[in-house]
Amino acid sequence: MSIKKLWFMGALLTGSLMLFGCASMGDGTVAEKQQAILDMQQTTLTRLYAEKPDTRAQIANSAGYAVFSNANVNVIFFAAGTGYGVVTNQASGSRTYMNMAEGGVGLGLGAKDYRIVMVFHSQDSLNYFVENGWAVGGNADATAKAANKGASAEGEDYLGNVTVYTMTESGLALQATIKGTKFWKDKELN
């Protein structure tokens, strides 16, 4: 293997580890970790409402919603990601703190930090997600973004009684993958 290839792979691995470190909740008390997630949720919803004003009414009239922070890395044929978030049940007012991990195959290269907002249009879809948490889907995007500079191609998907919005925070990625995502309750934070 050439020095160039080794350097590139090392740089990509280092970047991946740094990005995954950002997705971890790190140290702190349970209350501090919960507050950090709620702060991320509020920041994400504020951005969503600014970019898509109609989502405010959609969320207000929903059974519930989830907001997740995710870090994703693509290396040639494989993709992996990890993150955390919270599901809010509008009927009961309860919150369920959750983790997520994803893996996939396809063609891609790069890393990105992004947010996911899921709007549950029925109580059954909300309950199913909290109890089972699986999601499978395809993903194709192009991202070149740092802070408020750059651009990314983002969108929304409709999965039965759930609408999913994604918003990139930062990263550099070009990918087309099929991936599976597992969401599960965080035993420490609930």
Count the domains in the chain: 1
What pLDDT shows up at residue 50? 94
What pLDDT shows up at residue 166? 85
Cα–Cα dist 45/59, whole Å: 10
In a domain, 40, yes or no: yes
110 with 173: CB under 8 angstroms?
Answer: yes
For 113, the token pair is: 């930090």
124 with 161: CB under 8 angstroms?
Answer: yes
What pLDDT shows up at residue 75? 75
For 117, the token pair is: 């907002």
Domain that holds residue 131: 3-185
Find all residues with CB under 8 Å of 107, minimum gap 6, and list them: 76, 77, 175, 176, 177
What pLDDT shows up at residue 41? 97
In a domain, 190, yes or no: no
In a domain, 105, yes or no: yes
Residue 8 CA: distances (Å) to CA of 12, 18, 34, 77: 6, 15, 37, 16
Residue 90 CA: distances (Å) to CA of 43, 59, 142, 156: 19, 9, 34, 21
In a domain, 176, yes or no: yes
What pLDDT shows up at residue 117? 94
In a domain, 102, yes or no: yes
What pLDDT shows up at residue 154? 46
Task: Render each residue's pLDDT in the chain as its tens digit; 190 residues.
Answer: 444 443 344 344 334 434 444 444 668 899 999 999 999 999 999 999 999 999 999 999 999 999 999 987 777 777 788 899 999 999 999 999 999 998 887 766 677 688 999 999 999 999 999 998 876 655 444 444 444 444 444 444 546 689 988 887 654 545 565 767 889 999 999 9
In a domain, 72, yes or no: yes
What pLDDT shows up at residue 177? 59
What pLDDT shows up at residue 181? 83
What pLDDT shows up at residue 42? 97
Tell me the three-class secondary structure of the chain, residue by residue: CCHHHHHHHHHHHHHHHHHHHHHCCCCCCHHHHHHHHHHHHHHHHHHHHHHCCCHHHHHHCCCEEEEEEEEEEEEEEEEEEEEEEEEEECCCCCEEEEEEEEEEEEEEEEEEEEEEEEEECCHHHHHHHHHHCEEEEEEEEEEEEECCEEEECCCEEEECCEEEEEEEEEEEEEEEEEEEEEEEECCCCC
